[in-house]
């Protein structure tokens, strides 16, 4: 069973700042045998590249969201520590939220929260919007999270979803499209891991 760490630059389960990640988690949990751990920024950290906040303490919290209904906005938490009763609920997924950058989330997730020896690969994303061209690539927190994982010797995937319209949060109102995009992403990553 592949052991996977998920990070991103858009934050935890939130329909406004991070609308794609819940659909990706649902696809992973329903289509694969991956053992998924999630360590993401507690708030939006886009356009930050592979930055760190030097000399600053990192605050940690935990939330739990439903797996089967990504469009459900309800969460349990935040809590200062993992909640064993909620961890045991197979309908919920634990999210570790750090007041930090995507690169820091990958680093702390690998070295302190999950353990480097307990992770086979890292997925950073899915990002809201394209990460194409050198400009976007060099400033992308999504790519920064994947680069940090690679620096720790892990296979890493930076995943971005494009959208046609940003007006009126149109991209959030298409759950069928987000579910299908997530299924495709999971299948592509699964195939790439076999090479």
Confidence check: pLDDT of 55 > 60: yes
Report pLDDT digits (tens) over 31-40.
999 999 999 9
If we measure between CA atoms, which residue out of 100, 31, 20 comes closest to residue 59?
100
What are 167-178's pLDDT values in tens digits?
A: 545 555 578 888
pLDDT for 93-131, tens place per residue?
999 999 999 999 999 999 999 988 999 999 999 987 777
- Whole-structure pTM value: 0.93
Contact 70, 23 (CB under 8 A): yes
Q: What are the φ and ψ backbone dihedral angles of 78, each rounded to 5 degrees?
A: -85, 150
Going along the chain from its start, the domains and CATH numbers come out as: 3-192 (3.40.1210.10)
Confidence of residue 46 (pLDDT cuts 50, 70, 90): confident
Residue 16 has pLDDT above 90, yes or no: no
For the stretch 128-144, pLDDT in tens is 777 777 777 788 999 99
> Is residue 72 a contact partner of residue 14, using CB atoms and an 8 Å limit?
no
> Which strands form 121-128's sheet, in the order they lie side by side?
75-79, 60-66, 92-98, 35-41, 3-7, 121-128, 155-161
CB 66 within 8 A of CB 120: no
Q: How far apart are CA 48 and CA 129, in angstroms?
A: 15
Would you state the pLDDT for residue 156? 97
Helix, strand or coil, per DSSP, at residue 5? strand
Pinpoint the alpha helices (H) of 32-121.
Answer: 84-87, 102-108
């Amino acid at each position: 069973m592949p052991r996977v760490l998920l990070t991103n630059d858009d934050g935890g389960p939130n329909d406004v700042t991070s609308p794609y990640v819940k659909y990706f988690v649902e696809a992973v949990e329903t289509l694969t045998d991956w053992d998924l751990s999630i360590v993401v920024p507690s708030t939006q950290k886009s356009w930050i590249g592979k930055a760190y906040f030097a000399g600053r303490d990192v605050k940690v919290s935990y939330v739990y969201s439903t797996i089967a209904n990504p469009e459900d906005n309800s969460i349990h938490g935040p809590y200062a520590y993992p909640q064993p009763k909620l961890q045991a609920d197979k309908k919920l997924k634990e999210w570790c939220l750090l007041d930090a950058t995507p690169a820091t989330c990958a680093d702390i997730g690998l070295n302190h929260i999950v353990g480097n020896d307990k992770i086979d690969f890292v997925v950073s994303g899915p990002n809201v919007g394209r990460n194409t061209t050198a400009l976007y690539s060099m400033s992308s927190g999504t790519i920064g999270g994947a680069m940090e994982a690679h620096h720790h010797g892990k296979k890493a995937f930076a995943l971005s979803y494009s959208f046609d319209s940003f007006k009126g949060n149109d991209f959030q109102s298409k759950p069928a499209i987000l579910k299908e995009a997530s299924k495709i992403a999971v299948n592509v990553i699964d195939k790439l891991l076999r090479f």
